[in-house]
A = this chain, B = another copy of it.
């Protein structure tokens, strides 16, 4: 039985608790949160002990920690947990600064603890299916990757102001997905963007509509578009064109019903809420982590994947500002 300590009992912590509840061989052993009420509520549901953060990390009853606290706390928690020899599951981004992530890489590698960066989309059954079939050679060598990623509606302006910007907060998922699908590291990043959805976002110094082009050493190309608005649901599509064919994952709609009337044939919108859309992905990523720790298998994505995505997001931000492609070789 893998005893997991949850650091952070907010929305994402609760998601992970629910996933752990469905996995054989793992349980939520302890929980900690700055708000004691949150910790207590989750403890009641799971039967876990409520602990202070330091105690949880140091507890002999905890084999692994799930870090679901605010981003600026990740750095210290990773260092502490690594020092205690805990396996670590950490929400993305690992940190807002690539240099600080590099420090974390050193700490984790020195401690030799398993580490997983929670890029949950890699575990979406649709996207995972695409990637495994690329690996199996079903479409030959990858040539062009296209990623469309659009949120149903923008986050509050307060969030925008502290998020590090669209490229770091939203597109980072797509930059990781690009790495996952391209099969090669991107070497150039070119970004454009504008504030077309909400002028407030522009005034806050950010964009809400953006596009990035990545190229790899052998010439593979990835195009990504992001928007903070999609009236038709949470728009999450990928398409990979290879030498022998194309693979694409379409949106998940609310149901399979189609109505036909004089105006034509209509289906439901795409699922709106990210927790619903990626429910299966959250479950699968936690199962992967537990399996990796318990059975000493390779865990992926690891901490260097978290670093590499941050480097790409930084480069996209710079490219957008300087209006020129940035080399990240």
Chain A: number of interface residues, binned into ranges: 35 or more
Residues of B within 8 A of A213 (CB): 190, 192, 211, 213, 223
CB–CB B218/A257 < 8 A: no
CB–CB B247/A259 < 8 A: yes
CB–CB B325/A243 < 8 A: no
CB–CB B243/A259 < 8 A: no
Residues of B within 8 A of A146 (CB): 146, 148, 223, 225
Residues of B within 8 A of A210 (CB): 221
A236-286 residues at the B interface, CB under 8 angstroms: 239, 241, 243-270
Residues of B within 8 A of A251 (CB): 256
Residues of B within 8 A of A141 (CB): 196
Residues of B within 8 A of A249 (CB): 255-258
Return the contact of A265 from the options B150, B220, B223, B267 (Cβ within 8 A): B267
- A 113-156 to B, binary, CB cutoff 8 A, 1 in contact else 0: 00000000000011001100100001101011010101000000
A86 within 8 Å of B by Cβ?
Answer: no
A97 within 8 Å of B by Cβ?
Answer: no
Return the contact of A130 from the options B130, B192, B257 (Cβ within 8 A): B257
| Contacts A196-B220, A219-B209; A231 near B261 (Cβ below 8 A) | yes
CB–CB B218/A194 < 8 A: yes
CB–CB B269/A260 < 8 A: yes
CB–CB B195/A219 < 8 A: yes
CB–CB A225/B225 < 8 A: no
CB–CB A243/B196 < 8 A: yes
A229 within 8 Å of B by Cβ?
Answer: yes
CB distance from A111 to the nearest CB of B (A): 36
CB–CB B232/A261 < 8 A: yes
Return the contact of A323 from the options B239, B252, B325 (Cβ within 8 A): B325
Which single residue of chain B is at the shortest CB-CB distance from A215? B192
Which single residue of chain B is at the shortest CB-CB distance from A21? B21
CB distance from A329 to the nearest CB of B (A): 13
A59 within 8 Å of B by Cβ?
Answer: no
Residues of B within 8 A of A49 (CB): none
| Contacts A196-B243, A215-B192, A221-B209; A143 near B227 (Cβ below 8 A) | yes
A73 within 8 Å of B by Cβ?
Answer: no
User: Considering the chains assembled together, what is the distance between the CA atoms of A231 and B264 in angstroms?
Assistant: 9
| Contacts A148-B146, A194-B218; A266 near B266 (Cβ below 8 A) | yes
User: Considering the chains assembled together, what is the distance between the CA atoms of A192 and B123 in angstroms?
Assistant: 30
User: Considering the chains assembled together, what is the distance between the CA atoms of A254 and B128 in angstroms?
Assistant: 13
Given known contacts A211-B223, A223-B223, what 7 new A-B pairs fall within 8 Å (CB)?
A146-B225, A148-B239, A221-B225, A231-B245, A260-B269, A260-B270, A324-B324
Q: Please list the 10 inter-chain residue pairs (A to B) with the smallest Cβ-Cβ separation, ordered nearest first.
A: A194-B219, A232-B260, A245-B261, A266-B266, A246-B260, A250-B256, A231-B262, A265-B267, A264-B269, A211-B221
